[in-house]
Amino acid sequence: MIGRIFGAALALASGLGLAHTATAQDLRPDQVRFRELYKELVETNTSLSVGSCTVAAAKMGAHLKAAGFTDAQLIYFSTPDHPKEGGLVAILPGTSKTAKPILLLGHLDVVEAKRADWTRDPFTFIEENGIFYGRGTSDMKVIDATWVDMLVRFKEQKYAPKRTLKLALTCGEETLAAFNGADWLAKNKRDLIDAEFALNEGGGGRADKDGQVQSQGVQVGEKVVQQFRLETTNPGGHSSVPIRDNAIYELSQALLKVRDYEFPLAMNDTTRSFFAKAGVGRSDPTGLAMIAIAKDPNDKAAEAELNKDRGFHSMLRTTCVATLLDGGHAENALPQRAGANINCRMFPGSTMEDTKAKLEAAISDPGVKVIPLQPIRSKPNPPPLDPKVIGPMERVAAKYFPGAPLVPTMSTGASDAIYLAPVGIPTYGVPGFWSGPEGSGAHGLNEHQSAKSVFVGRDYLTELVKTYAEAG
């Protein structure tokens, strides 16, 4: 996932652009080496259908071992029923016995990509006009490669951090059908990944059409995914003698009510900070509404203005939408059953029970069953806007992205952070990389990342992690 759904929103914040430059034609030796590692990872197919996260983890582990990591510091994991969906935990010990570790988290799996649909082979790393193309170049192998490359260089340099640094490369983030390594580690190897906080995907920034970075975002919390099935049943009968009492009609009426239902507005520290910062310096109606809603969540005029933007609308509440539909059993029979999948993205702090109750009240038809589907998520609270975490991000960002504000964001998507929060590891989506107004193509066609973003973002994250590693 890339919890980068907020990219369009982040582009609204003002900034002075980026002073750094980096091109594929003029690279430092360490950047050349990183580019090869990044290329190797993108070209290792890790899609669920034909790929293997286990192979990718082994390749990354080989780089770490060659740099000097011992076998005891490289822990591979998988389960017998999912042999291709394994992962790796790597540990760079710190010198302090009291400072808690930092966890660098990254999923290796990628969304499916069909060659016939893409302009270029999705599993060939291709550079054109300063842009890297390939499945995973954005979501999220650029971060995976950065974490691995960082630990390789630290080990080779004999750098001894004060805090222990841990790296967890996992599988299964992109689909519920896979073995989720982050979930497994949290439930079965909690001590192995113990950390004061984790750094993950989900943040990042946006540049304008001229390539100037306008803002950087740090993801602080995300919505919780919960699926429901709406189902209607009926005795049915012969289609030659129809009646109004029809399972498909009844379901259709329920779906229209779900469409029209507006969950109540909700805000937390993260979204309040987002609107307050992203609205600064704007005099248009949307900018004024952002400032107003941050000051007063009960401002209905501000809410109405922000609801015109689908991203802001989703940030302000739980949302539920129909995504799958089925019904009937024969073309010449009245339907005996009809059903639909309802995909809900619950605002942090909401529960399945509360969301179910609101759907039932909106539908107001006892003949429509609202059935929660597995997995039923716990109720994680968003991580705090901890100055010990956010402060270094802001200070280092001011060096690499002068004038571009660092904006806290809450993802309306989902990431593996949802598995770490319940076991007490607050997880933040890092700033650093960015994309333009067109986005990065993550989950879609022709996924890409600019070379400038890759190399500058890598340098930013390296300095940020070293800053954390020496603190505490």
Whether the per-residue pLDDT at 139 is higher than 70: the answer is yes
pLDDT computed for residue 176 by the predictor: 81
Alpha-carbon gap, residue 246 to 79, rounded angstroms:
46
User: What is the enclosing helix (H) or strand (E) of 131?
Assistant: strand 131-133
pLDDT computed for residue 260 by the predictor: 98
Question: What number is the average pLDDT over the span 419-442?
Answer: 94
Strand partners, 205: 216, 434
Alpha-carbon gap, residue 393 to 307, rounded angstroms:
30
Whether the per-residue pLDDT at 6 is higher than 50: the answer is no
User: Could you please report the per-residue DSSP string of 321-364?
Assistant: EEEEEEE-S-TTEE-SEEEEEEEEEEPTT--HHHHHHHHHHHH-
Q: How far apart are the first and last CA of the chain?
A: 31
pLDDT computed for residue 19 by the predictor: 36
Topology of 7-222+381-469 in CATH? Aminopeptidase (3.40.630)
Alpha-carbon gap, residue 43 to 355, rounded angstroms:
41
Whether the per-residue pLDDT at 302 is higher than 90: the answer is yes
- What is the reported pTM? 0.88
DSSP state, residue 220: E
Whether the per-residue pLDDT at 16 is higher than 60: the answer is no
Question: What confidence tens digit (pLDDT) does each residue in 375-415 have?
Answer: 887 776 789 999 999 999 999 999 999 999 999 999 988 89
Distance set, CA 427 to CA 91, 106, 196, 220 (Å): 18, 12, 9, 7
Alpha-carbon gap, residue 412 to 426, rounded angstroms:
17
Half-sphere exposure of 423 (CA within 13 A, CB side): 20
Strand partners, 346: 224
Task: Tell me the pLDDT of the chain averaged across its residues.
Answer: 93
393: exposed, middle or buried (Cβ count in 10 Å: 0-12, 13-18, 19+): buried
Whether the per-residue pLDDT at 212 is higher than 60: the answer is yes
Alpha-carbon gap, residue 142 to 191, rounded angstroms:
27
User: Please, which pLDDT band fits residue 8 given cuts at 50, 70 and 90?
Assistant: very low
In one-letter notation, the amino acid at residue 102 is I
Topology of 225-372 in CATH? Alpha-Beta Plaits (3.30.70)
Strand partners, 104: 167, 199
Q: Do residues 321 and 343 lie in contact, with contact meaning Cβ atoms separated by under 8 Å?
A: yes
pLDDT computed for residue 177 by the predictor: 81
Question: What number is the average pLDDT over the span 258-272?
Answer: 97
Whether the per-residue pLDDT at 22 is higher than 50: the answer is no
Q: Do residues 206 and 213 lie in contact, with contact meaning Cβ atoms separated by under 8 Å?
A: yes
Domain boundaries, the chain: 7-222+381-469, 225-372
pLDDT computed for residue 380 by the predictor: 66
